[in-house]
Amino acid sequence: HVKVLHAWKQYIQSVETMEFVLADETGQKIHATCKQTYIESKGRILTVGAWRYIRNFQITPAGGTYRTTDHTWKIVFNQNTAVSRSNHVNDELYLNLSDFQTVLSGTLDENFLIDVLGQVLDCGGVENIQCTGGKQRKKLEFTLSDIKINDDDKTLTSFQSNEDNNKQVAQSGKRGQRDKWLLFPTKSIYEMITSTQVSSY
């Protein structure tokens, strides 16, 4: 019984798969993959935010770089896999947020993707770039600042593309469009997580 946290299509050597990050009711996350053969029959019902029952699947060891969870195993759908709806409702996002200082220290395991929460200072347009093998990918660059704003704050510049996944590097002093984004009051990550009032920040 799992909640679908993320879903995306992936192409490796022209082979299409549907990838998922799932979480159980305790917040334990696991990666799941669905081959192209089963995307229409099984993958399409796994919509982000929905709770589902999944039965009769295979598990294989999880490994490699850019892993979405720290789970030892990965779910693999097969022809016997059954996906059914659940009426369970839970708005929990199951994020494992890392603070900026820890990310910028370089001590985190580079094999795992990282969750951060920050304020967008500037965001460039979507660009098409030429990648290895002659394929074109979309690229988006943006700068995140920690919620705490001060003179020596740290920012993360994120580069995202289908080819290179996410890479984060330290950059300080890049203010960009900060004034535009400061029209709203700022809140700490703790205040955001524990907030109960609906508002814009």
How many Å apart are CA 43 and CA 20, to the nearest integer? 9
Q: What's the average model confidence in pLDDT over 90-110?
A: 86
- In the predicted model, what is the mean pLDDT of residues 58-77? 93
Q: How many helices (H) and strands (E) does the chain have?
A: 4, 12
Whether the per-residue pLDDT at 179 is higher than 70: the answer is no
Residue 3 pLDDT: 95
Angle at 160 between CA 154 and CA 161, to 5 degrees: 165
Q: Return d(Cα 92, Cα 3) in angstroms, integer.
A: 9
The pLDDT of residue 149: 52
pLDDT class of 61 with cuts at 50, 70, 90: very high
Dump pLDDT digits (tens) for 135-174: 788 888 888 888 765 545 566 665 544 444 433 333 333 4
